[in-house]
Amino acid sequence: MTRRRRAVPPGSAGARRAAPLPAVILGSGIWHLLRGRRGLRLSRGEIGETPFGPSRPIFSTVLPGGRRVLLMTRHGEAGYDVGAWSVNYRANLWALKDRGADLVLSTSACGGIDPRLSVGTFVVPHDLLDKTTRRAKTFFEGAGLGIVRHGQPFCPALRAALAEGLAAVGVRHRLGGVYVCTDGPRLETPAEICSYAREGATIVGMTVAPEFALSRELELCYATLSWVVNLAEGVVPRPYRPDLLFEGMATEEELAEGDRAAARLPEVLAAALDRLSSDRACDCRRAMEHYKQRGDIGEDFRTWVKRT
Ligand SMILES: [Zn+2]
């Protein structure tokens, strides 16, 4: 894998000519998908220069079955180099949209709060609790834009496609769930997990907010495919293990199970995209419509914010 650190200016001729492509954002726990002969083959990465700074490199890759997608990692291509609390979510989404993406499927490793969830289970959440406090949550700082509904925080058409894709691939999964997003970097206390459970959360992670809401502001369809890599603190008694990832919250067997699930991600994403119609019935791509009709903004999203 090579990476070309060439900036693509926003709104460049090349970007405008790019054909619409689905975009995939890979979270943590997926690095083995990017290595070796059987790993995803990535093009040279291109960093998008945006009004919010540089994005993560954008790659082109081909999923199983031959579908080409734009691909970005939140945290790095070889390891956890950028923490969830330091990801430039605005730059990443802006750059993907600028490259022609009209939908984003993300992956997100998560902890299971619902004790009935076992490690390795895929979850397609339908709702979210945003507990983050230190992240830029809108593209429209200092402007009066961005008051948009989140009755369905995740695109229902993408969720339906993920459901069909999971069933087609035949992996263990649950449809629906509430993802609670925390700031990190520390993991949660037992009391916090208890509190989140009482609020309705079924899984916990650090990355989906504000990604979901920023996508809506750019009229991108967005959904996340989570998979359980450990059970959350206090859900089951687990001794402290300083030698293991998550310090013993997942056993060695469970860590291996999580890796096995992650290895199926490309198949599931491909199967989901194969089942997604280009004229999908959802309102994500009209999220800013009332602002356009009022004359507050034009059709080109690149004009929606002032360049800094
Ligand atoms: Zn949608």
Residue 118 forms part of a structural domain:
yes
- Domain residues for the domain of 74 are 6-296
Q: Is the peptide bond before 237 cis (omega within 30 degrees of 0)?
A: no
Which segment of 109-113, 134-138, 145-149, 248-252 scores lowest on mean pLDDT?
248-252
| Domains held by the chain: number | 1
pTM, entire model = 0.92
**How far is the centre of ligand 1, averaged over its atoms, from the C-alpha of 280 (Å)?**
7
**How far is the centre of ligand 1, averaged over its atoms, from the C-alpha of 252 (Å)?**
38
Which segment of 130-139, 189-198, 209-218, 279-288 scores lowest on mean pLDDT?
279-288
**How far is the centre of ligand 1, averaged over its atoms, from the C-alpha of 82 (Å)?**
28
Residue 305 forms part of a structural domain:
no
Among 67, 20, 34, residue whose Cα is nearest residue 272: 67
Question: SS3 sequence, the chain?
Answer: CCCCCEEECCCCHHHHHCCCEEEEEECCCCHHHHCCCCCCCCCCCEEEEECCEEEEEEEEEECCCCCEEEEEECCCCCCCCCCHHHCCHHHHHHHHHHCCEEEEEEEEEEEECCCCCCCCCEEECCEEEECCCCCCCCCCCCCCCCCCCCCCCCCHHHHHHHHHHHHHHCCCEEECCEEEECCCCCCCCHHHHHHHHHCCCCEEECCHHHHHHHHHHCCCEEEEEEEEEEECCCCCCCCCCCCCHHHHCCCHHHHHHHHHHHHCHHHHHHHHHHCCCCCCCCCHHHCCHHHHHCCCCCCCHHHCCCCC
The predicted pLDDT at position 248 comes to 87
Residue 121 forms part of a structural domain:
yes
Say yes or no to pLDDT of 224 above 50. yes
- In this prediction, residues 35-49 reach a mean pLDDT of 91
Residue 1 forms part of a structural domain:
no
**How far is the centre of ligand 1, averaged over its atoms, from the C-alpha of 106 (Å)?**
14
**How far is the centre of ligand 1, averaged over its atoms, from the C-alpha of 160 (Å)?**
10
Residue 302 forms part of a structural domain:
no
Q: 174: Cβ–Cβ under 8 A, 6 or more apart, which residues?
A: 117, 121, 122, 123, 124
Residue 86 forms part of a structural domain:
yes
- In this prediction, residues 168-193 reach a mean pLDDT of 97
Residue 14 forms part of a structural domain:
yes
Alpha carbon distance, N-terminus to C-terminus of the chain: 33
Report the CATH number that the domain containing residue 55 is assigned in CATH: 3.40.50.1580
- In this prediction, residues 245-267 reach a mean pLDDT of 92
**How far is the centre of ligand 1, averaged over its atoms, from the C-alpha of 237 (Å)?**
40
Residue 215 forms part of a structural domain:
yes
**How far is the centre of ligand 1, averaged over its atoms, from the C-alpha of 248 (Å)?**
38
Say yes or no to pLDDT of 235 above 50. yes
pLDDT tens column, 56-101: 999 999 999 999 999 999 999 989 999 999 999 999 999 999 999 9
**How far is the centre of ligand 1, averaged over its atoms, from the C-alpha of 222 (Å)?**
6
The predicted pLDDT at position 165 comes to 97
Say yes or no to pLDDT of 140 above 50. yes
